[in-house]
Structure 1
Amino acid sequence: MKNQRLLRLALAIGAPILALFTAFLITSLVLALAGDSVSGVWGQILSVPDARGFTNIINSATVYYLSGVAVAIGFRMNLFNIGVDGQYRVASFAAAVIAGEAWLPGYLNTVFAIVAAMLVGAAWAGIAGLLRVTRGVSEVISTIMLNAIATLGVAYLLRKAAVDNPGSNITATKTIPESSWIPGFRLQDGAPNVVYGFLFIAIIVGILYWIVINRTTFGFDLKATGLSETAAVASGINVKRMILITMLLSGAVAGLVGMPILFGDAHAYGSTFQSGLGFAGIAIALLGRNHPVGIAIGALLFAFLDEQSNPLQILLDVSPDIVKITQGVIVLTVVIAYELVRRYGIRLEQSNVASALDEKAEEKGAKV
């Protein structure tokens, strides 16, 4: 038994290592074919970042982590919530408008805006959930369409809610009062930037996610439904209800994705607000196998690659988009590696069972 556990652990660790090594080889091949410096690019990417770089990595990873958890909630039930990008857009806009109005003082205003963001994100994801349970519409199709509606709708509403900023070409909502900002902290004295204080809320979200999935009846029903809807129905689980609740929870967490940026840096929602975070969450959730720790590692890896690729254009005249190739290859190879490990594990279990049955048969034969 001990040897089997060690083998499974080795396989679990070996799969992502193999994926990273494969991504390294493929990216190096692309660089060589393009005539770029392979050693120069990897030397820059794998260099140790300074305090500013470390801070940027942690901040980006915080946002990526929330996006990954939002996607993972749906993945646990075989629901593909591709709409996190649209959900966090509408949620961030709503939170910025509410916080900018400052109807409540200080941090009460902050809490009110964050709760509103979660409710708006849940409501936007709930549309896809309702379409799935009432009309059988695939959540993949509906969430993709809702992404487009969210992008255009927020752009239209932003023009209506924007305030004049003399000397600036950026269209943005009212600035959130400083008393409602979430303060950060510096990694070292004199560092030019601060780590988002929302980091601690993201950690709490990860802990709650793990507890709900692994220590509650709802989490058990969620995983059971994801494994087999037929078996779930036979055991008395209301599958349609589970689908709707899962989409609502996924959307609520998606509503938090833009909050670190909104309350820790931008302090308003504008035309330059970061986009594409929802799609990164899909890759990170796959990379982390929907586990809170795995998602955290994936978020840090993606954030590290993003940060380290920024100077490539200036230093080596290499497009930082090469990192997008690396990230994509990592996801593909990880998925393939995990599937190979899963199949090998099944064969290993079958072999162990067959060996055990043979031993019992031999014992019975010896007794006879």
Structure 2
Amino acid sequence: MSPREGMTRRNEAMGPRVTLANVAERAGVSPTAASLILNGRANTRLSDDARQRVLAAAEALNYRPNLMARGLRMEKSATIGFVSDLIATTRYAGPMVRGALRAAREQNHTLFVTETEGDLQEQDRAIEALLDRQVDALILATVTGRIVLPERRLPVPLVVLNGSAGPGEYLSILPDEEGGGKEAAGHLIGLGHRRVHLLGTSDPQHWTVPVRRRIESLLTEFSNADVEVVQISLERPVWDFEAGLDTATRAVTLHSPVSAVVALNDTLAAGAYEGFRQAGLAIPEDVSIVSFDDDDIVSFLRPQLTTVALPFETLGRRAVEMALNAGSVPSGELRERMVLQLRQSTRPARST
């Protein structure tokens, strides 16, 4: 049987859509009475017997309400638009979308997901297309940390996910990078390290809001504890394995001794593992490493990596909750805690 034949048979088995009028006829009530009962309207003066007949008829006929028509009547569509810059090409986006999908489903909403590939014209088109479909709210998500808000005032609530909307009418939900920086720095300070190499910095003009908060928090915490920080900047603006290998190699060859390292993400840390291995240094016996993300892609590292987790799934969930309750949430930023995942890549500083 071909796929086309299978679809035809499935459609035939499903039959025509059951309407409210069908339910009313089977229950022996008017369509208006059936609508009131199925929509849970109170104080209708309809008998309990009528209510039971309508509910039984709806179940027997497998009645599904026409959500589009109901949305037009109630000015609600039970849908949310999710516009992201780079969903398909960035693995971090998956947990954000998953959290948003689960939260929407729990709230009996459908999530419409679209990607712009960072094209601002495409972002505008996506937002207008979703508004044409009468979505109840919009989520504008970024995996790069860079956000450009719509120029016009929107008729529905808008929540910025994983980026800052700045001061104004819109809500933002993003990781608490300042708190994450304190967690990472505090861990190495508590282990007695007095000199730390920071891998992955770059020209501050290129920092997004989250990156700026992460780096500045680290530098502030180490400065307050009188810890020397050696910054090993990127030679190309990508936090990947090769950059981690390069920065670790330069740290050893140009800025020894190296005893404690903060890598600005887990992929950099993976490259640093290899760089230190090639230099004959063991982790954590010779070098302690702390990183950021808690990315499954580096779960193969041994010893396992101590890292500050980015709560992407929780962020997606919270964005939906904020979007559907925008009237009761003050505008501004909500920051989600980043938790240190303590594993085997750090140890107390050697006494001198």
Normalised by the shorter chain, which TM-score bucket?
under 0.3
Q: Which has the higher strand share?
A: 2
Q: What TM-score, normalized to structure 2?
A: 0.24
Q: What TM-score, normalized to structure 1?
A: 0.23
Q: Which has the higher helix share?
A: 1
Of structures 1 and 2, the larger Rg is shown by: 2
